[in-house]
Structure 1
Amino acid sequence: MSVTDKKWRAVIDEVLAESSMPLHYTDIAERIVERKLRINLGATPAATVNAQISRSIKHEGSDSPYVRVDRGVFALKSMIGETPAAFPQGSENVSAEVDEYQYDIITSFGMFWRRDNVEWNAMPKLYGVQQIGADSVDFCRQIGIYLLYDGREVIYVGRSTDRPLGRRLYEHTTDRMATRWDRFSWFGLLPVSETGSIGVMPVTYPAEKLIPALEAILIEALEPRQNRKRGDDLAAVEYSQKTDPDIDKRKAKALIDRI
Protein backbone atom coordinates (compact mmCIF):
# COMPACT_ATOMS: atom_id res chain seq x y z
CA MET A 1 0.00 0.00 0.00
CA SER A 2 1.43 3.39 -0.94
CA VAL A 3 1.85 6.19 1.57
CA THR A 4 -0.91 8.23 -0.02
CA ASP A 5 -3.34 5.35 0.43
CA LYS A 6 -2.95 5.19 4.22
CA LYS A 7 -6.08 5.57 6.32
CA TRP A 8 -6.80 8.81 8.16
CA ARG A 9 -5.76 7.41 11.54
CA ALA A 10 -2.40 6.29 10.14
CA VAL A 11 -1.50 9.68 8.65
CA ILE A 12 -2.74 11.51 11.76
CA ASP A 13 -0.46 9.34 13.89
CA GLU A 14 2.43 10.00 11.52
CA VAL A 15 2.02 13.78 11.72
CA LEU A 16 1.62 13.83 15.52
CA ALA A 17 4.59 11.50 16.05
CA GLU A 18 6.86 13.85 14.10
CA SER A 19 5.76 16.94 16.02
CA SER A 20 7.49 18.04 19.21
CA MET A 21 4.39 19.98 20.22
CA PRO A 22 0.65 19.25 20.38
CA LEU A 23 -1.18 20.33 17.24
CA HIS A 24 -4.57 21.81 16.50
CA TYR A 25 -6.58 19.58 14.21
CA THR A 26 -6.47 22.21 11.46
CA ASP A 27 -2.66 22.16 11.62
CA ILE A 28 -2.68 18.36 11.45
CA ALA A 29 -4.86 18.51 8.34
CA GLU A 30 -2.62 21.15 6.75
CA ARG A 31 0.47 18.98 7.26
CA ILE A 32 -1.30 15.99 5.76
CA VAL A 33 -2.16 18.10 2.72
CA GLU A 34 1.30 19.68 2.42
CA ARG A 35 3.05 16.31 2.58
CA LYS A 36 0.52 14.67 0.26
CA LEU A 37 -0.07 11.82 2.69
CA ARG A 38 -3.51 11.22 1.21
CA ILE A 39 -4.90 11.51 -2.30
CA ASN A 40 -8.56 11.65 -1.29
CA LEU A 41 -9.03 14.51 1.17
CA GLY A 42 -12.78 14.93 0.83
CA ALA A 43 -14.35 18.35 1.22
CA THR A 44 -13.70 18.80 4.95
CA PRO A 45 -10.21 17.48 5.82
CA ALA A 46 -9.90 19.50 9.05
CA ALA A 47 -13.28 18.31 10.30
CA THR A 48 -12.39 14.73 9.35
CA VAL A 49 -9.16 14.86 11.38
CA ASN A 50 -11.03 16.28 14.36
CA ALA A 51 -13.75 13.64 14.10
CA GLN A 52 -11.25 10.79 13.85
CA ILE A 53 -9.35 11.85 16.97
CA SER A 54 -12.40 12.86 19.03
CA ARG A 55 -14.18 9.61 18.16
CA SER A 56 -11.16 7.63 19.32
CA ILE A 57 -10.96 9.50 22.63
CA LYS A 58 -14.68 9.13 23.26
CA HIS A 59 -15.12 5.49 22.31
CA GLU A 60 -11.73 3.96 23.06
CA GLY A 61 -11.22 5.72 26.38
CA SER A 62 -7.90 4.85 28.01
CA ASP A 63 -7.00 2.68 25.00
CA SER A 64 -7.02 5.69 22.70
CA PRO A 65 -3.52 6.74 21.58
CA TYR A 66 -4.54 10.41 21.71
CA VAL A 67 -4.82 13.00 24.45
CA ARG A 68 -6.64 16.32 24.23
CA VAL A 69 -4.41 19.04 25.70
CA ASP A 70 -6.61 22.02 24.89
CA ARG A 71 -9.71 22.78 22.88
CA GLY A 72 -9.07 21.33 19.44
CA VAL A 73 -5.42 20.57 20.30
CA PHE A 74 -4.17 16.99 20.46
CA ALA A 75 -1.05 14.90 21.00
CA LEU A 76 -0.07 11.26 21.15
CA LYS A 77 -0.04 9.88 24.68
CA SER A 78 3.33 8.32 23.95
CA MET A 79 4.82 11.80 23.52
CA ILE A 80 3.84 13.13 26.92
CA GLY A 81 6.46 11.23 28.85
CA GLU A 82 9.14 12.07 26.33
CA THR A 83 8.63 15.84 26.20
CA PRO A 84 6.59 16.90 29.22
CA ALA A 85 7.75 20.51 29.00
CA ALA A 86 6.01 20.85 25.65
CA PHE A 87 2.61 20.24 27.21
CA PRO A 88 0.59 22.65 29.40
CA GLN A 89 0.39 21.76 33.06
CA GLY A 90 -2.60 19.55 33.73
CA SER A 91 -3.40 19.30 30.05
CA GLU A 92 -3.85 15.54 30.28
CA ASN A 93 -6.86 16.19 32.51
CA VAL A 94 -8.82 18.07 29.86
CA SER A 95 -12.16 16.28 29.54
CA ALA A 96 -12.47 13.97 26.57
CA GLU A 97 -16.18 14.73 26.52
CA VAL A 98 -15.67 18.33 25.33
CA ASP A 99 -17.43 18.75 22.00
CA GLU A 100 -14.83 20.09 19.59
CA TYR A 101 -17.51 21.19 17.16
CA GLN A 102 -17.97 24.43 19.03
CA TYR A 103 -19.33 26.02 15.86
CA ASP A 104 -22.07 23.56 15.07
CA ILE A 105 -24.04 26.72 14.31
CA ILE A 106 -21.58 28.31 11.89
CA THR A 107 -20.72 25.29 9.79
CA SER A 108 -18.92 27.19 7.04
CA PHE A 109 -18.07 30.70 5.99
CA GLY A 110 -16.20 32.71 3.37
CA MET A 111 -14.64 36.14 3.70
CA PHE A 112 -14.25 38.81 1.01
CA TRP A 113 -15.15 36.58 -1.92
CA ARG A 114 -14.97 38.37 -5.26
CA ARG A 115 -18.18 39.06 -7.12
CA ASP A 116 -16.48 38.66 -10.50
CA ASN A 117 -15.39 35.10 -9.66
CA VAL A 118 -19.00 33.98 -9.95
CA GLU A 119 -21.04 33.34 -13.11
CA TRP A 120 -24.26 34.98 -11.97
CA ASN A 121 -27.64 33.44 -12.69
CA ALA A 122 -30.69 32.44 -10.64
CA MET A 123 -28.73 29.57 -9.00
CA PRO A 124 -25.04 30.48 -9.34
CA LYS A 125 -22.18 28.19 -8.38
CA LEU A 126 -20.47 29.49 -5.23
CA TYR A 127 -17.41 27.27 -5.08
CA GLY A 128 -15.18 27.13 -2.02
CA VAL A 129 -12.39 24.88 -0.75
CA GLN A 130 -11.42 24.28 2.86
CA GLN A 131 -7.79 23.56 2.00
CA ILE A 132 -5.67 23.28 -1.11
CA GLY A 133 -6.20 19.84 -2.54
CA ALA A 134 -9.58 19.31 -0.89
CA ASP A 135 -12.74 18.79 -2.91
CA SER A 136 -14.65 21.96 -3.74
CA VAL A 137 -18.09 22.67 -2.29
CA ASP A 138 -20.88 24.58 -3.99
CA PHE A 139 -22.46 26.83 -1.36
CA CYS A 140 -25.27 28.11 -3.56
CA ARG A 141 -27.86 26.30 -1.43
CA GLN A 142 -26.37 27.37 1.91
CA ILE A 143 -28.46 29.59 4.18
CA GLY A 144 -27.36 32.11 6.78
CA ILE A 145 -26.03 35.67 6.93
CA TYR A 146 -24.14 37.60 4.27
CA LEU A 147 -22.44 40.97 3.86
CA LEU A 148 -21.86 43.04 0.73
CA TYR A 149 -18.80 45.27 0.39
CA ASP A 150 -17.72 48.24 -1.67
CA GLY A 151 -14.01 47.61 -1.40
CA ARG A 152 -13.54 46.89 2.31
CA GLU A 153 -16.56 48.85 3.52
CA VAL A 154 -19.67 46.92 4.53
CA ILE A 155 -22.61 48.47 2.70
CA TYR A 156 -25.30 45.86 3.27
CA VAL A 157 -26.09 43.02 5.68
CA GLY A 158 -28.67 40.45 4.66
CA ARG A 159 -29.96 36.98 5.41
CA SER A 160 -30.88 33.97 3.33
CA THR A 161 -33.62 31.87 4.88
CA ASP A 162 -36.54 31.24 2.55
CA ARG A 163 -34.22 31.63 -0.46
CA PRO A 164 -30.71 30.16 -0.52
CA LEU A 165 -27.50 32.17 -0.45
CA GLY A 166 -26.81 31.95 -4.18
CA ARG A 167 -30.29 33.16 -5.07
CA ARG A 168 -30.17 36.07 -2.62
CA LEU A 169 -26.79 37.23 -3.91
CA TYR A 170 -27.97 36.97 -7.51
CA GLU A 171 -30.92 39.21 -6.67
CA HIS A 172 -28.43 41.87 -5.56
CA THR A 173 -26.92 41.88 -9.05
CA THR A 174 -30.22 43.17 -10.44
CA ASP A 175 -31.75 45.27 -7.63
CA ARG A 176 -30.82 48.70 -6.23
CA MET A 177 -27.51 47.25 -4.94
CA ALA A 178 -26.47 46.03 -8.39
CA THR A 179 -23.67 48.56 -9.02
CA ARG A 180 -22.65 49.11 -5.41
CA TRP A 181 -20.77 45.97 -4.37
CA ASP A 182 -17.75 44.03 -5.57
CA ARG A 183 -17.12 41.54 -2.73
CA PHE A 184 -19.18 39.52 -0.28
CA SER A 185 -18.77 37.47 2.89
CA TRP A 186 -21.13 34.81 4.17
CA PHE A 187 -21.73 32.66 7.25
CA GLY A 188 -23.59 29.40 6.67
CA LEU A 189 -25.76 27.34 9.02
CA LEU A 190 -26.35 24.13 7.07
CA PRO A 191 -23.80 21.36 7.72
CA VAL A 192 -21.29 20.29 5.07
CA SER A 193 -20.59 16.58 4.66
CA GLU A 194 -17.21 15.03 3.96
CA THR A 195 -18.36 14.50 0.37
CA GLY A 196 -19.21 18.19 0.00
CA SER A 197 -22.99 18.00 0.07
CA ILE A 198 -25.05 20.57 1.98
CA GLY A 199 -27.19 19.10 4.77
CA VAL A 200 -30.32 20.18 6.63
CA MET A 201 -30.87 22.62 9.47
CA PRO A 202 -30.71 21.25 13.03
CA VAL A 203 -33.97 21.49 14.97
CA THR A 204 -32.54 23.53 17.88
CA TYR A 205 -29.38 25.36 18.93
CA PRO A 206 -28.22 25.45 22.58
CA ALA A 207 -27.47 28.89 24.03
CA GLU A 208 -23.92 27.91 24.99
CA LYS A 209 -23.18 27.45 21.28
CA LEU A 210 -25.36 30.26 19.95
CA ILE A 211 -23.70 33.05 21.95
CA PRO A 212 -20.06 32.34 20.97
CA ALA A 213 -21.18 31.81 17.37
CA LEU A 214 -22.79 35.25 17.24
CA GLU A 215 -19.68 36.76 18.82
CA ALA A 216 -17.49 35.08 16.22
CA ILE A 217 -19.59 36.42 13.35
CA LEU A 218 -19.31 39.96 14.69
CA ILE A 219 -15.55 39.69 15.19
CA GLU A 220 -15.04 38.38 11.67
CA ALA A 221 -17.38 40.87 10.04
CA LEU A 222 -16.35 44.01 11.94
CA GLU A 223 -12.67 43.25 12.70
CA PRO A 224 -12.65 45.45 15.85
CA ARG A 225 -9.14 46.64 16.68
CA GLN A 226 -9.31 45.66 20.35
CA ASN A 227 -10.13 42.03 19.60
CA ARG A 228 -6.71 40.43 19.40
CA LYS A 229 -7.92 37.21 17.83
CA ARG A 230 -10.60 35.95 15.53
CA GLY A 231 -13.58 34.01 16.81
CA ASP A 232 -12.20 30.97 18.65
CA ASP A 233 -11.33 28.31 16.07
CA LEU A 234 -13.74 29.82 13.56
CA ALA A 235 -10.99 29.50 10.96
CA ALA A 236 -11.54 25.74 11.09
CA VAL A 237 -14.66 26.12 8.94
CA GLU A 238 -13.49 28.89 6.61
CA TYR A 239 -13.59 28.25 2.89
CA SER A 240 -11.52 30.05 0.27
CA GLN A 241 -13.26 31.04 -2.92
CA LYS A 242 -12.71 29.08 -6.10
CA THR A 243 -13.55 30.71 -9.41
CA ASP A 244 -16.43 29.21 -11.36
CA PRO A 245 -14.81 27.20 -14.20
CA ASP A 246 -17.38 28.60 -16.63
CA ILE A 247 -15.77 32.02 -16.23
CA ASP A 248 -12.35 30.69 -17.24
CA LYS A 249 -13.91 28.92 -20.22
CA ARG A 250 -15.64 32.13 -21.29
CA LYS A 251 -12.39 34.13 -20.97
CA ALA A 252 -10.48 31.50 -22.96
CA LYS A 253 -13.11 31.56 -25.72
CA ALA A 254 -13.03 35.37 -25.82
CA LEU A 255 -9.24 35.26 -26.17
CA ILE A 256 -9.43 32.75 -29.01
CA ASP A 257 -12.07 34.84 -30.76
CA ARG A 258 -9.86 37.93 -30.53
CA ILE A 259 -6.89 36.04 -31.92
Structure 2
Amino acid sequence: MKLSNNTIFITGGGSGIGRGLAEALHKLGNQVIISGRRKSHLDAVIAANPGMAAVELDITNTASINSVANQLITDYPTLNVLINNAGIMLPDTAAGAIDDELLTSTISTNLMGPIRMTSALVDHLKKQDDAYIGYTTSVLGFVPMALTAVYSATKAALHSYVMSQRFMLRDSSVKVLEIAPPWVRTELMNSSEAELAMPLDEFIAETIAVLGTDAQEVLVERAQPLRANAGPNEHGFVNQFNQQLLELYAE
Protein backbone atom coordinates (compact mmCIF):
# COMPACT_ATOMS: atom_id res chain seq x y z
CA MET A 1 0.00 0.00 0.00
CA LYS A 2 1.28 3.45 -0.76
CA LEU A 3 1.68 5.42 2.47
CA SER A 4 1.01 8.96 1.27
CA ASN A 5 -1.42 10.96 -0.87
CA ASN A 6 -4.41 8.83 0.07
CA THR A 7 -7.82 9.86 1.33
CA ILE A 8 -8.46 7.52 4.24
CA PHE A 9 -11.56 6.85 6.33
CA ILE A 10 -11.00 5.06 9.65
CA THR A 11 -13.83 3.86 11.87
CA GLY A 12 -13.21 3.81 15.60
CA GLY A 13 -10.56 6.50 15.18
CA GLY A 14 -11.19 8.28 18.46
CA SER A 15 -8.96 6.08 20.60
CA GLY A 16 -6.60 3.12 20.73
CA ILE A 17 -5.38 1.49 17.54
CA GLY A 18 -7.74 3.56 15.39
CA ARG A 19 -6.36 6.82 16.70
CA GLY A 20 -2.80 5.55 16.44
CA LEU A 21 -3.24 4.58 12.80
CA ALA A 22 -5.03 7.83 12.01
CA GLU A 23 -2.29 9.99 13.49
CA ALA A 24 0.52 8.03 11.87
CA LEU A 25 -1.11 8.12 8.44
CA HIS A 26 -1.97 11.81 8.85
CA LYS A 27 1.69 12.60 9.51
CA LEU A 28 2.67 10.74 6.35
CA GLY A 29 0.71 13.18 4.18
CA ASN A 30 -2.71 11.60 3.85
CA GLN A 31 -6.14 13.17 4.21
CA VAL A 32 -7.56 11.25 7.15
CA ILE A 33 -11.18 11.22 8.29
CA ILE A 34 -11.99 9.41 11.53
CA SER A 35 -15.32 8.34 12.97
CA GLY A 36 -16.82 7.14 16.23
CA ARG A 37 -19.75 7.53 18.56
CA ARG A 38 -17.99 9.63 21.22
CA LYS A 39 -17.81 13.20 19.95
CA SER A 40 -15.51 14.27 22.79
CA HIS A 41 -12.92 11.71 21.70
CA LEU A 42 -13.17 12.76 18.06
CA ASP A 43 -12.80 16.42 19.01
CA ALA A 44 -9.68 15.64 21.04
CA VAL A 45 -8.04 13.84 18.12
CA ILE A 46 -8.89 16.61 15.67
CA ALA A 47 -7.58 19.28 18.03
CA ALA A 48 -4.28 17.43 18.33
CA ASN A 49 -3.97 16.87 14.58
CA PRO A 50 -4.78 19.98 12.52
CA GLY A 51 -6.07 19.07 9.08
CA MET A 52 -7.63 15.81 10.14
CA ALA A 53 -11.42 15.53 9.89
CA ALA A 54 -14.06 13.62 11.84
CA VAL A 55 -17.64 12.47 11.51
CA GLU A 56 -19.90 10.91 14.12
CA LEU A 57 -20.92 7.34 13.26
CA ASP A 58 -22.90 4.61 14.99
CA ILE A 59 -21.42 1.50 13.37
CA THR A 60 -24.33 -0.60 14.68
CA ASN A 61 -26.91 1.53 12.87
CA THR A 62 -27.51 0.97 9.15
CA ALA A 63 -29.01 4.42 8.61
CA SER A 64 -25.99 6.06 10.24
CA ILE A 65 -23.61 4.02 8.07
CA ASN A 66 -25.41 4.89 4.85
CA SER A 67 -25.64 8.57 5.78
CA VAL A 68 -21.93 8.79 6.57
CA ALA A 69 -21.02 6.88 3.40
CA ASN A 70 -23.01 9.31 1.26
CA GLN A 71 -21.44 12.26 3.07
CA LEU A 72 -17.93 10.88 2.52
CA ILE A 73 -18.48 10.29 -1.19
CA THR A 74 -19.79 13.85 -1.58
CA ASP A 75 -17.21 15.62 0.57
CA TYR A 76 -14.20 13.44 -0.30
CA PRO A 77 -14.61 12.17 -3.88
CA THR A 78 -10.99 10.95 -3.91
CA LEU A 79 -11.62 8.60 -0.95
CA ASN A 80 -9.61 5.48 -1.75
CA VAL A 81 -8.93 3.78 1.58
CA LEU A 82 -11.38 2.41 4.14
CA ILE A 83 -10.06 0.97 7.40
CA ASN A 84 -12.74 -0.84 9.40
CA ASN A 85 -11.31 -0.55 12.89
CA ALA A 86 -14.24 0.03 15.27
CA GLY A 87 -14.77 -2.79 17.74
CA ILE A 88 -15.72 -3.73 21.28
CA MET A 89 -14.36 -6.48 23.53
CA LEU A 90 -16.15 -7.71 26.63
CA PRO A 91 -15.72 -10.83 28.78
CA ASP A 92 -18.45 -13.45 28.47
CA THR A 93 -19.38 -16.86 29.83
CA ALA A 94 -19.28 -19.47 27.08
CA ALA A 95 -19.74 -22.19 29.73
CA GLY A 96 -23.07 -20.70 30.77
CA ALA A 97 -25.79 -18.34 29.63
CA ILE A 98 -24.52 -15.58 27.33
CA ASP A 99 -25.93 -12.14 27.97
CA ASP A 100 -28.03 -11.41 24.90
CA GLU A 101 -27.26 -7.68 24.87
CA LEU A 102 -23.52 -8.43 24.92
CA LEU A 103 -23.96 -10.98 22.13
CA THR A 104 -25.97 -8.64 19.94
CA SER A 105 -23.83 -5.56 20.45
CA THR A 106 -20.56 -7.43 19.88
CA ILE A 107 -21.71 -9.05 16.65
CA SER A 108 -23.32 -5.82 15.43
CA THR A 109 -20.19 -3.78 16.11
CA ASN A 110 -17.41 -6.19 15.22
CA LEU A 111 -18.89 -8.12 12.30
CA MET A 112 -22.04 -6.58 10.85
CA GLY A 113 -20.68 -3.04 11.15
CA PRO A 114 -17.56 -3.55 9.01
CA ILE A 115 -19.49 -5.55 6.42
CA ARG A 116 -22.17 -2.86 6.18
CA MET A 117 -19.62 -0.02 6.06
CA THR A 118 -17.70 -1.72 3.27
CA SER A 119 -20.91 -2.51 1.39
CA ALA A 120 -21.84 1.17 1.47
CA LEU A 121 -18.49 2.29 0.02
CA VAL A 122 -17.24 -0.57 -2.14
CA ASP A 123 -18.78 0.63 -5.42
CA HIS A 124 -17.15 4.03 -4.92
CA LEU A 125 -13.81 2.41 -4.11
CA LYS A 126 -13.95 0.32 -7.29
CA LYS A 127 -13.79 3.57 -9.25
CA GLN A 128 -10.47 4.56 -7.67
CA ASP A 129 -7.19 3.53 -9.30
CA ASP A 130 -5.46 2.57 -6.06
CA ALA A 131 -8.03 1.52 -3.47
CA TYR A 132 -7.81 -0.47 -0.25
CA ILE A 133 -10.26 -1.94 2.21
CA GLY A 134 -8.67 -2.73 5.56
CA TYR A 135 -10.09 -4.64 8.50
CA THR A 136 -8.72 -4.71 12.03
CA THR A 137 -9.27 -8.27 13.19
CA SER A 138 -7.19 -9.93 15.94
CA VAL A 139 -4.88 -12.87 16.55
CA LEU A 140 -7.80 -14.12 18.65
CA GLY A 141 -9.54 -14.85 15.37
CA PHE A 142 -6.91 -17.55 14.85
CA VAL A 143 -6.46 -18.67 18.48
CA PRO A 144 -9.57 -17.76 20.50
CA MET A 145 -9.48 -16.48 24.05
CA ALA A 146 -12.13 -18.44 25.94
CA LEU A 147 -12.85 -15.57 28.33
CA THR A 148 -13.97 -13.48 25.35
CA ALA A 149 -15.52 -16.20 23.22
CA VAL A 150 -17.98 -13.98 21.38
CA TYR A 151 -15.34 -11.37 20.55
CA SER A 152 -12.95 -14.06 19.33
CA ALA A 153 -15.71 -15.60 17.21
CA THR A 154 -16.50 -12.26 15.54
CA LYS A 155 -12.84 -11.80 14.62
CA ALA A 156 -12.66 -15.32 13.20
CA ALA A 157 -15.79 -14.62 11.17
CA LEU A 158 -14.37 -11.32 9.93
CA HIS A 159 -11.15 -13.07 8.87
CA SER A 160 -13.25 -15.53 6.86
CA TYR A 161 -15.18 -12.69 5.23
CA VAL A 162 -11.93 -10.90 4.36
CA MET A 163 -10.65 -13.95 2.48
CA SER A 164 -13.90 -14.25 0.52
CA GLN A 165 -13.99 -10.56 -0.32
CA ARG A 166 -10.34 -10.56 -1.34
CA PHE A 167 -11.02 -13.41 -3.73
CA MET A 168 -14.13 -11.76 -5.18
CA LEU A 169 -12.29 -8.45 -5.73
CA ARG A 170 -9.17 -10.10 -7.17
CA ASP A 171 -9.74 -8.62 -10.64
CA SER A 172 -10.65 -5.12 -9.44
CA SER A 173 -8.55 -2.13 -8.40
CA VAL A 174 -9.44 -2.77 -4.75
CA LYS A 175 -6.99 -4.58 -2.48
CA VAL A 176 -8.29 -6.13 0.76
CA LEU A 177 -6.01 -5.99 3.80
CA GLU A 178 -6.30 -7.58 7.22
CA ILE A 179 -4.59 -6.04 10.24
CA ALA A 180 -4.45 -8.69 12.99
CA PRO A 181 -3.05 -7.18 16.21
CA PRO A 182 -1.67 -9.11 19.14
CA TRP A 183 -2.44 -7.93 22.68
CA VAL A 184 -1.89 -4.16 22.55
CA ARG A 185 -2.07 -1.55 25.31
CA THR A 186 -5.46 0.06 24.65
CA GLU A 187 -8.74 0.63 26.46
CA LEU A 188 -10.01 -2.82 25.42
CA MET A 189 -10.26 -5.06 28.49
CA ASN A 190 -8.51 -2.32 30.50
CA SER A 191 -5.20 -3.17 28.85
CA SER A 192 -3.68 0.32 28.85
CA GLU A 193 -1.21 -0.55 31.62
CA ALA A 194 -0.78 -4.27 30.93
CA GLU A 195 2.94 -5.03 31.02
CA LEU A 196 2.63 -8.11 28.77
CA ALA A 197 0.72 -6.18 26.10
CA MET A 198 2.57 -4.54 23.21
CA PRO A 199 3.00 -0.78 23.66
CA LEU A 200 0.65 1.04 21.30
CA ASP A 201 3.35 3.24 19.74
CA GLU A 202 5.49 0.19 18.95
CA PHE A 203 2.53 -1.60 17.42
CA ILE A 204 1.63 1.38 15.23
CA ALA A 205 5.21 1.90 14.02
CA GLU A 206 5.63 -1.76 13.08
CA THR A 207 2.17 -1.91 11.48
CA ILE A 208 2.83 1.14 9.31
CA ALA A 209 6.09 -0.43 8.14
CA VAL A 210 4.22 -3.58 7.03
CA LEU A 211 1.40 -1.52 5.48
CA GLY A 212 4.00 0.02 3.22
CA THR A 213 4.68 -3.37 1.63
CA ASP A 214 2.54 -5.58 -0.61
CA ALA A 215 1.43 -7.73 2.33
CA GLN A 216 -2.24 -8.67 2.40
CA GLU A 217 -2.05 -9.64 6.05
CA VAL A 218 -0.51 -6.92 8.20
CA LEU A 219 1.17 -8.76 11.06
CA VAL A 220 3.64 -7.39 13.57
CA GLU A 221 6.29 -9.80 14.82
CA ARG A 222 4.42 -10.57 18.05
CA ALA A 223 1.34 -11.66 16.10
CA GLN A 224 3.08 -14.10 13.79
CA PRO A 225 3.32 -17.16 16.10
CA LEU A 226 -0.44 -17.17 16.72
CA ARG A 227 -1.22 -16.54 13.05
CA ALA A 228 0.98 -19.46 12.05
CA ASN A 229 -1.26 -21.75 14.06
CA ALA A 230 -3.84 -21.60 11.25
CA GLY A 231 -1.39 -22.97 8.72
CA PRO A 232 0.83 -21.17 6.20
CA ASN A 233 -1.09 -22.37 3.13
CA GLU A 234 -4.55 -21.29 4.25
CA HIS A 235 -5.21 -18.66 1.59
CA GLY A 236 -3.82 -20.70 -1.26
CA PHE A 237 -6.16 -23.53 -0.34
CA VAL A 238 -9.12 -21.13 -0.03
CA ASN A 239 -8.38 -19.57 -3.43
CA GLN A 240 -8.09 -22.95 -5.12
CA PHE A 241 -11.32 -24.13 -3.50
CA ASN A 242 -13.22 -21.06 -4.70
CA GLN A 243 -11.74 -21.15 -8.19
CA GLN A 244 -12.85 -24.77 -8.60
CA LEU A 245 -16.36 -23.84 -7.49
CA LEU A 246 -16.54 -20.98 -9.99
CA GLU A 247 -15.46 -23.29 -12.79
CA LEU A 248 -17.97 -25.90 -11.70
CA TYR A 249 -20.90 -23.45 -11.69
CA ALA A 250 -19.80 -22.00 -15.01
CA GLU A 251 -20.25 -25.35 -16.74
TM value normalised by structure 1: 0.27
Structure (1/2) with the larger strand percentage = 1
Structure (1/2) with the larger helix percentage = 2
* Structure with greater Cα Rg: 1
Larger RCO of the pair (alpha carbons < 8 Å, separation 6+):
1
